[in-house]
Amino acid sequence: MNETTPRQMAAKALSLLDLTDLTDNCDAAAIELLCQQAVTPFGHTAAICIWPRFVKQARALLGSSSPIRIATVVNFPSGGLPVDDVVAETRQAIADGADEIDLVIPYKALIAGDEAAVREMVVAVRAVCAPPVLLKVILETGELKDRDLIRNASHLAIASGADFIKTSTGKVAVNATLEAADIMLNAIRESGRKVGFKPAGGVRTVGDAALYLNLAATIHGPDWAIPSTFRFGASGLLGDILAVLDGRGSGSSNATY
């Protein structure tokens, strides 16, 4: 991985990107633009990640045969909704055309010592995410903070049926960090299961992306990070990817997610 050129790294990051708009003022025009941006002269992103209310629109725009998957969020961002409400939200999103569900665990309950609340939530949502729908479980690691708690949350999510574990909502003060990524990637390795990893929030440049990909390669091997095992959740990363692929060099982004 160390010998990978910036352009190669950018192309890889593009193929792993969940291009995201979870802004509070997102509207139909923004979703139309996002779907357009997901297809670039250099290839397409892995997915778009949007609010549930826009899934039906995105499915109509992308069509049924698009290689770009539609991810949406449930129990988001607070992690505090009742299980039945989250299950209903998930069912509706899938009916509207979602391919992937990004579920926030009840992390505040976990901080208070309630592991059962996490198990119950993930198992219940898993039950309505029939393959090929993917379940990506958001731990909100910046709020969990403690290494042991992040590791425990990772194992709880994996044991309860997560296809991916994801760092963050992008809606709190601390989002993806390399420290949290290291804990989560090692938890995946310890589990012995085929579970993916998604850092989200704060990954804004190809250089940022490279740090996470190099970490994943160290723990899981150089060929592990593919769209079925690794995603980036970001809104601003695409601009930097395209700058590198266009030969304009790596810039910076002011994106909040």
Catalytic residue numbers?
102, 166, 198
State phi, psi for 50 to the nearest 5 degrees. -140, 170
Longest dimension (CA), the chain: 50
Please count the other Cβ atoms lying within 10 Å of the Cβ belonging to residue 113.
9
Classified as helix, coil or strand, 98 is coil
- DSSP at 47: E
Instruction: Specify the long-range contacts of residues 84-88, CB closer than 8 Å, at least 24 apart.
Output: 86/121, 86/124, 86/125, 87/124, 87/125, 87/127, 87/128
Are the beta carbons of 170 and 257 closer than 8 angstroms? yes
Q: Measured between alpha carbons, how far is 249 from 232 in angstroms, rounded to an integer? A: 20
Are the beta carbons of 138 and 167 closer than 8 angstroms? yes
| Nearest-10 crossing angle of helices 206-220, 6-15 | 80
